Amino acid sequence: MALIMPHYQEQGQEVTLFEHAFRRQLPVLLKGPTGCGKTRFVEHMAAKLGRPLYTVACHDDLSAADLVGRHLIGDGETYWNDGPLTRAVREGAICYLDEVVEARKDTTVILHPLSDNRRILPIERTGETLHALPEFMLVVSYNPGYQNLLKGMKPSTRQRFVALRFDYPKPELEARIVAQETCVDDKLATQLVALANALRVLKEHDLEESASTRLLVYTATLIQDGFEPLAACRAALVEPLTDDSETVEALMEVVKTFFA
């Protein structure tokens, strides 16, 4: 599993911090906009530390049972099946809960005893209480940009984590990332990043979302694969950002300035 280490370009001290947190058994919270590399960072760190990684993409129907596990039916009887969190606790793996605020409220109940110094996971259905191995690590992420009154990370939960803020990388770094991910030449990568930064200025005023590094990588991949640049930008950079056709046309005018 840890054979291929996914590429990750460090922006600050996040790698070192993560290593320290891992050594001292501290849970980590990653926050940042969508598509800026949070998931990639965790994959990279898991490979670097040589631990298996269990990633759970949280959604609004994800319950505690989905994390902890449930009974399954077998040959005339039932047996217990560990959920991803339980498996990580038993194996001393890294468990990564992506967009944790999306999950149902009952999940916080199991996260609390795991994220403080008790590091235990009580499994109600089997009556077991697991003590996490020293290598177990809990990592959660969320996007604070979505302003939702009814959902949001409770301060009492947030305070249990060491927090790391992510943002889109600086232009030179981002260009390097795009080039590395897609094998496009540096000039095109720089051009795409400049375009993305032009579009990011529009956030909140004209657009609700910023162009993410992920979208840039998609665009570069299409271009690298021989797709025409303008059409690639439209498909992978402009259309994903807005549904309003007038805004799309306006953004395309901006794109044309960069790819005339």
Helix (H) or strand (E) run with residue 113 in it:
helix 106-115
User: Given the complex with another protein, which of 160 and 203 has the nearer CB atom?
Assistant: 203
Q: Residue 161 and residue 99: Cα distance in Å, rounded?
A: 15
Q: Give the per-residue contact string, 68-107, with another protein (x = CB under 8 A; - = no).
A: --xxxx---xx-----------------------------
Q: How far is the CB of 26 from another protein (least distance, A)?
A: 26
Looking at the Cβ atoms of 135 and 206, the one nearer to another protein is 206
Q: Min. distance of Cβ 201 from another protein in angstroms?
A: 5
Q: Which of 173, 186, 10, 28 is nearest to 98 (CA)?
A: 28
Cα atoms in the Cβ-side hemisphere of radius 13 Å centred on 189: 20
Does the protein bind another protein through residue 155 (CB under 8 A)?
Answer: no
| Alpha-carbon span 100 to 41, nearest angstrom | 16
For position 173 contacting another protein by CB under 8 A, the verdict is: no
User: Minimal distance in Å, beta carbon 214 to another protein?
Assistant: 20
Instruction: Provide the binding-site residues for another protein, judged by CB under 8 A.
Output: 65, 70-73, 77-78, 125, 146-152, 190-191, 194-195, 197-199, 201-206, 246-247, 249-251, 253-254, 256-260
